[in-house]
Amino acid sequence: MAVYEHTYKQYLGKLTPEWSRFLVIPRHAFRDVFRSKLFTAFFIVCFIPVLIEAILIYLHHNVNAIAILKVNIQELIPIDAFFFQAFVNVQAGFAFFVTLLVGPPLVARDLRNNALPLYLCRPFSRTEYVIGKMSVVLILLSAMTWIPQLLLFLFQSYLEGAGWFVDNLSIASAIFFASVVWILLLALLSQAVSALVKWRVIASGALIGIFFIPSVFGEVVNNLFFTRWGNLISLGALMRNVTSGLFGTFVRASTHITDWDGRVAREIVVNEPPLWASWFVLFVVCAICLALLSRKVKAYEVVR
Amino acid sequence: MALAEKIQDQAILRNPANFAPVIDLNGLSVKFGGRPILQNLEGELRGRAIGLLGPNGAGKTTLIHTLLGFHPPSSGTAHIFGQDITTDAKQIRSLIGYMPERDSFIAKMSAVHFVRLMAELSGLPSEAALERAHEALFYVGLGEARYRSLDTYSLGMKQLAKLAQAIVHGPRLIFLDEPTNGLDPPARQRMIRLVREIRDSGKANIVLSSHLLRDVEECCEEILILKDGRLAVYCNLEEERKSNRRFLLLETRGDQEPFAAAIGALGCEYALTGDHRVKVVLQEGVEVRDIYRIASKFDVQIRKLSYKRDSLEDIFLKAMENGHGGL
């Protein structure tokens, strides 16, 4: 129908499947996000560690390259669980900064502009709204965390052989689950903070605060009481433990040495909190975020 | 003849009694924190354009929000096009367009992008959504400004953009919450004209909530007046207008007594009010031409003939004074 036919007309055409409508939100959000050249540049920079990882894997299997570069094969980092875990952790750090840039405005902007009634007066539920907003963060972070890591795992398997692939399948699952837990946590936290604060800058600040202030406090507790249980309030430490657990590199006991008057005064062996405790705290944090979102994401807030 | 038929058809279309119920309220009550906001609303609304009137805090917006599924009813329920608002909320919302009262936008978007997004959320495929977004913006008169950011729009343009997003998916029922708020007279006229056009297209029913009686009077056929969360008055404006046309006030010169008696002989009620005035209630089958005929017969001059005009303002003020009314 031509635009010059100015009459009210019902829409009688085909409709999209209901399950796919939440994807409308990320599609429109990406257009906005990648309009910023600065963000696009930063997002590209986030792939540099992946490139380095790919080069390292390649070097391991290219005798000519090793000969040209005069590198001793023994000096090269071994390609094992520690190798992939290290790069998963690096990408996790980048993922945090991408979340800081993308996450806070998503819900906050809608709340500030009273846009929620416009979403929710349509055949579009609050759950779909939250999933739609979270998927903006989830899709972006997936693209820079577990997807390239799994591709590199397949690259390594291809170069090393099918035997290596079978023997190290646990690494692939660890890459996937560790990344997914991290990006889910980031997505939930960023959306909850965004819904709570409404202002982008303050929401970004709050997100930084949530990660760093408890970490500092936890470290103070650890040092004061010669323990590691303070890690339970540090999201970074929790994720580190959970990731180590998934990669099978988690060690509970660690040594805490107090140097007093320039000499070793005493040596105390302290234990990291058990893995289940880390998982439990992460679960509680996610549950709080969901409760907050459920409370704040409403068409209208009722003033009682 | 064709014109007469058209007029008759229009009259049928204007009368809500000729339609299936659009909204059916079944003892609908809503409470916020134990405080009753809507109390036991009952009735069937059938009009193409339904006016929702009431003073501030009467519950108009809460009623719309409840029908949209934003607030759960504390008791009772309502049906829209036969579907229950408590169990079929999603299906109902696919038939509805909503223009909220307050400024509601998605920041940093052009109008066409915004309306397209809203269409896609309603289930339109991307290309159809874009096409309909252009059409809707042209329809409301924002065609030339459709690529401008909404942040740069004036208040009147924002109201029109809100209307565009409410109609972009071609809903069967459109809730307009105070659509003329903050508009200057030309913009208000434009908005009223658009509402009437949509109403007259016969493709969508409209629920217009407003505290401006004139807006409702110009657009609506059926009125629901709320007071303190209760239904104060239901009024079928079309019936009201029709019945008002049966009340005549005559200003005459000549001998009134036999003239009035002859009118009475036709079965009409009458009253002599002095100052040469006669009030007449016409019975079915008696037309104004019969009055003129009797006046001619008794040599009475009819200097002025006026119909009773019970304005919406009168109905509203009466509703505010009186208690509750039902359908």
Look up the ipTM and state it: 0.83
Q: In whole angstroms, give the CA distance from residue A8 to residue A198.
A: 36
Asked if residue B118 and residue B48 are part of one domain, the reply reads yes
For residue B150, the chain A residues in CB contact (below 8 A) are none
Q: Is residue B144 part of a domain?
A: yes
Shortest CB distance from B123 goes to which of A10, A15, A112? A15
A257 against B80, higher pLDDT = B80
Q: Please give the pLDDT value at position B7.
A: 54
Cβ separation B139–A117 shorter than 8 A: no
Q: Please give the pLDDT value at position B14.
A: 58
Average pLDDT, chain B: 85
Q: Spell A168-196 as b/e; 16+ CB within 10 A means b.
A: beebbebbbbbbebbbbbbbbbbbbbbbb
Chain B residues 165-224 within an 8 A CB cutoff of chain A: 165, 167, 169-172, 175, 197-198, 201, 203-204
Asked if residue B76 and residue B222 are part of one domain, the reply reads yes
Compute the count of residue pairs across chains A and B with CB atoms less than 8 Å apart.
Answer: 130
Asked if residue B262 and residue B198 are part of one domain, the reply reads no
Q: Is residue B220 part of a domain?
A: yes
**DSSP secondary structure string for all residues of A125-150:** -HHHHHHHHHHHHHHHHHHHTHHHHH
CA distances from B139 to A155, A292, B193 (A): 56, 40, 12
pTM: 0.83
**Boundary of a domain, candidates B192, B224, B241:** B241
Cβ separation B125–A14 shorter than 8 A: yes
Instruction: Tell me which amino acid residue B98 is.
Output: Y
Q: Is residue A229 part of a domain?
A: yes
Asked if residue B207 and residue B85 are part of one domain, the reply reads yes
Q: Is residue A304 part of a domain?
A: no
Residues β-bridged to residue B144? none
> CATH code at B284?
3.30.70
Q: Please give the pLDDT value at position B325.
A: 47
Q: Please give the pLDDT value at position B327.
A: 43
Q: In whole angstroms, give the CA distance from residue A84 to residue A93.
A: 14
Q: Which of A285, A264, A281 is nearest to A273 (CA)?
A: A281
Instruction: Name the percent of chain A lying above pLDDT 70.
Output: 90
Chain A residues 27-46 within an 8 A CB cutoff of chain B: 28, 32
A124 inside 8 A of chain B by CB: yes
The helices-and-strands tally (H runs, E runs) of chain B is 12, 14
Q: Please give the pLDDT value at position A251.
A: 80
**Boundary of a domain, candidates B241, B260, B292:** B241
Structural domain for A33, as ranges: 20-296
Q: Is residue A2 part of a domain?
A: no
pLDDT-flagged residues of chain B (< 70): 1-19, 242-245, 308-311, 322-327
Asked if residue B259 and residue B216 are part of one domain, the reply reads no
Cβ separation A21–B120 shorter than 8 A: yes
Structure tokens at B114: 């915004």
| Phi, psi for A83 (deg, rounded to 5) | -60, -50
Query: Cα distance from A104 to chain B (closest Cα, Å)?
Result: 14
Shortest CB distance from B93 goes to which of A8, A9, A123? A123
Average pLDDT, chain A: 87
For chain B, the domain total comes to: 2
Asked if residue B297 and residue B149 are part of one domain, the reply reads no
Structure tokens at B301: 């001059």
Q: DSSP H helical segments within B37-109, as ranges?
A: 60-67, 89-93
Cβ separation B96–A121 shorter than 8 A: yes
Q: Quote helix, strand, coil % in chain A, to nearest 5.
A: 70, 5, 20
Which residues have a Cβ under 8 Å from the Cβ of B312 and sit 6 or more positions away? B53, B213, B216, B217, B223, B237
CA closest to B141 among chain A residues: A6
Which residues have a Cβ under 8 Å from the Cβ of B16 and sit 6 or more positions away? B45, B46, B47, B48, B50, B221, B222, B236, B238
> CATH code at B151?
3.40.50.300
Cβ separation A21–B68 shorter than 8 A: no
Question: Are B326 and B223 contacting, i.e. CB atoms less than 8 angstroms apart?
Answer: no
Q: Is residue B154 part of a domain?
A: yes
Q: Is residue B277 part of a domain?
A: yes
Q: In this model, does residue A276 exceed pLDDT 90?
A: yes
Residue B2: CB atoms within 10 Å: 6
Asked if residue B224 and residue B115 are part of one domain, the reply reads yes
Q: Is residue A8 part of a domain?
A: no
Cβ separation A3–B138 shorter than 8 A: yes
Tell me the pLDDT tens digit for each residue of B155-183.
889 999 999 999 999 999 999 999 988 78
Q: Please give the pLDDT value at position A17.
A: 92
Query: Cα distance from B206 to chain A (closest Cα, Å)?
Result: 13
Q: In this model, does residue A258 exceed pLDDT 70?
A: no
For chain A, the domain total comes to: 1
Cβ separation A10–B108 shorter than 8 A: no
A300 against A42, higher pLDDT = A42
Cβ separation B204–A12 shorter than 8 A: no
Q: Is residue A191 part of a domain?
A: yes
Residue of B103, B121, B165, B176 to mutate, testing the A interface (most A Cβ within 10 Å of its Cβ): B121
Q: In this model, does residue A269 exceed pLDDT 90?
A: no
Q: In this model, does residue A51 exceed pLDDT 90?
A: yes
Q: Is residue B312 part of a domain?
A: no
For residue B97, the chain A residues in CB contact (below 8 A) are 121
Asked if residue B249 and residue B236 are part of one domain, the reply reads no
Asked if residue B249 and residue B233 are part of one domain, the reply reads no
Structural domain for B195, as ranges: 15-241
B106 inside 8 A of chain A by CB: yes
Cβ separation A299–B70 shorter than 8 A: yes
Which residues have a Cβ under 8 Å from the Cβ of B234 and sit 6 or more positions away? B43, B222, B223, B224, B225, B325, B326, B327
Cα dihedral A42, A43, A49, A54 sign: negative
Tracing tokens 């109008």 back to the chain, one arrives at B111
B131 inside 8 A of chain A by CB: yes
Shortest CB distance from A118 goes to which of B165, B169, B175? B165
